[in-house]
């Protein structure tokens, strides 16, 4: 897991108050981890969507701040470019508040900096959260500058997968229990599934909808948490699976679940360089030099210099 320096929940509440702190930390960050987990940078060999559902609370916080910090890139002039905040609005806001805390915002230090935010309707939630947070920071000035959106994210090419010798389950019913969490009734027609297996979900035409979706629980027809089936029998069971269908997911007719290989191919998103708020301090007037000049003139007058 990538590690980043970040604010604690207590420090966050001190900075913006417990109401907004809970909104960002608990309701925001934890839900956002379930939507686009594989856009979070990670170490080689890791797949965030497979790690986060089984992570502890502290580990999920680490994942959340990595997601937020990955949205921030520092420009040469010290301003900060915000990207991907439409997918991680709370995480990105928390990352900015963490930078502000490190810069001394909690102590009332005067801070002024510029954020460049792509002019896109998808950033509406992030802008609203940022404005709400800025209202709590009396000594901080955040200048929001709209910039042209970057090129659209490359469309994911439609892939068809149909491993004839692999483990296959036919989804008979699907119900969402929470954000990014589903219970599916599956008829396992080949192979077996176990808790912790990662799965690829396809539509009825075997077009890939989601990859690297972990099975978090299995309940068989006998109410035992065991593998769904074996090679000799067809079983119907319920799988609890962590997956997310983005709003732009095309309509589908039918679902299949394929068990992935033990080490599926995955290319993590790179982590940008750390961002540091460059706080500008106005130069104070220099009365000391003036006094020193007066003092020198006095001694000159005294000794006739």
What is the per-residue pLDDT for 165?
Answer: 63
| CA distances for 159 relative to 37, 195, 201, angstroms | 20, 26, 11
Give alpha helix (H) positions in the chain: 9-16, 18-22, 30-32, 48-51, 57-69, 89-102, 124-134, 287-303
Give the span between the Cα atoms of 207 and 161, in whole angstroms.
7
- Domain spans of the chain, in order of start: 9-147, 168-259
Partners of 174 in beta bridges: 184
| CA distances for 222 relative to 192, 225, 228, 265, angstroms | 16, 9, 10, 35
2-16, 24-38, 172-186, 229-243: the lowest-pLDDT one:
229-243
CATH code given to domain 168-259: 2.40.30.10
The continuous run of DSSP H or E covering 257 comes out as strand 255-259
Per-residue pLDDT tens over the stretch 188-218: 887 778 889 999 999 998 999 999 999 998 8
Helix axes 9-16, 89-102, angle to 10 degrees: 80
What is the per-residue pLDDT for 229?
Answer: 47
Percent of the chain with pLDDT over 70: 82
Residue 86 tokens read as 């439409």
What is the per-residue pLDDT for 71?
Answer: 97
- At residue 219 the predicted structure's pLDDT band, cuts being 50, 70 and 90, is confident
Note the pTM of the prediction, 2 decimals.
Answer: 0.85
Mean pLDDT computed over 219-234? 51
């Amino acid at each position: 897991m990538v590690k980043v320096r970040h604010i604690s929940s207590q420090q966050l509440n001190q900075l913006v108050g417990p109401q907004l702190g809970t909104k960002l930390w608990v309701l925001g960050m934890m839900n956002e981890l379930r939507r686009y987990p594989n856009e979070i940078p990670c170490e080689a060999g890791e797949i965030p969507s497979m790690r986060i559902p089984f992570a502890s609370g502290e580990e999920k916080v680490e994942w959340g701040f990595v997601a937020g910090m990955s949205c921030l890139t520092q420009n040469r002039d010290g301003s900060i470019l915000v990207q991907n905040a439409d997918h991680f609005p709370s995480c990105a806001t928390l990352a900015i508040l963490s930078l502000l805390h490190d810069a001394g915002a909690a102590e009332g230090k005067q801070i002024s900096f510029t954020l460049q935010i792509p002019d896109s309707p998808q950033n509406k939630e992030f802008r609203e959260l940022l404005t709400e947070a800025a209202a709590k920071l009396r000594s901080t000035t955040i200048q929001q500058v709209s910039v042209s959106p970057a090129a659209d994210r490359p469309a994911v090419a439609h892939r068809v997968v149909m491993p004839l010798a692999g483990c296959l389950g036919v989804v008979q019913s699907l119900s969402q229990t929470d954000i990014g969490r589903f219970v599916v009734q599956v008829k396992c027609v080949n192979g077996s599934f176990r808790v912790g297996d990662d799965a690829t979900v396809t539509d009825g035409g075997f077009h890939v909808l989601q990859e690297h979706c972990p099975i978090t629980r299995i309940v068989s027809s006998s109410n035992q948490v065991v593998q769904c089936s074996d090679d000799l029998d067809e079983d119907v069971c319920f799988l609890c699976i962590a997956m997310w269908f983005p709003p732009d997911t095309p309509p589908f007719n039918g679902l299949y679940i394929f068990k992935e290989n033990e080490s599926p191919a995955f290319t993590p998103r790179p982590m940008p360089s750390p961002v540091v708020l460059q706080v500008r301090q106005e130069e104070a007037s220099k009365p000391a030099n003036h006094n020193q000049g007066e003092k020198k003139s006095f001694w000159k007058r005294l000794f006739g210099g």
